[in-house]
Amino acid sequence: MGTIEDRARNFLSVLRHCQLLGITVEQADQDGLVLKLPYSDKIVGNPVNGLVHGGAITTLMDTCCGISTVCFLTEFEICPTLDLRIDYMRPAQPGEAIYGFAECYRVTPTVIFTRGIAYQASREEPIAHVVGTFMRMGKPDAAGQPSRTIDGGAA
């Protein structure tokens, strides 16, 4: 079982693409999750000004919203993303890490509604606002397979 932060770290540790981007857990408790995406040249989307690609921010926030489910669920469940929306408030400062905060604001037996903010210096100056909805597939069996078949969502 472990603490919420342990479970968030375990969850993140198996996501290979997140390791490629260097995403780490900053903080996790019952109020939500903070992940960190370090700046690197390989995630640049605009080679002229060095701005981070929206795809890397989407990956940070999809991961953050998805793992924020451990702040609410006491046992691990596989929760594929149903949908995700990102609104870009301002460009991220090149060269600096981007943080993602996410929280579950409504949990039902079938879906989990999450929302989050991507930011750098302060959460009061968001780079992006995010909302994401996740499916509850139930607890995995001994082989690691979810109790409901996944054909309705991505990881």
In the bound state with another protein, the residue whose beta carbon lies nearer, of 16 and 30, is 16
What does the block give as tokens for 78? 């596989």
Asked if 74 is part of the footprint of another protein (rule: CB under 8 A), the reply reads: no
What does the block give as tokens for 77? 């469940």
Q: How far apart are CA 9 and CA 77, in angstroms?
A: 15
Q: C-beta of 75: minimal distance to another protein in Å?
A: 16
Of residues 13 through 72, those in contact with another protein by CB under 8 A are 14-18, 20, 41-50, 52-56, 58-63, 66
For residue 10, which of 37, 41, 43, 33 has the smallest C-alpha distance?
A: 33
What does the block give as tokens for 120? 């750098």
Contact status, residue 91 vs residue 51, Cβ threshold 8 Å: yes
Q: Rule CB under 8 A: choose which of 22, 24, 72, 82 binds another protein.
A: 82
Contact status, residue 57 vs residue 72, Cβ threshold 8 Å: no
In the bound state with another protein, the residue whose beta carbon lies nearer, of 6 and 20, is 20
In the bound state with another protein, the residue whose beta carbon lies nearer, of 5 and 22, is 22
Q: Which residues bind another protein (CB under 8 A)?
A: 14-18, 20, 41-50, 52-56, 58-63, 66, 78, 80-88, 91, 94, 140, 144-146, 150-155
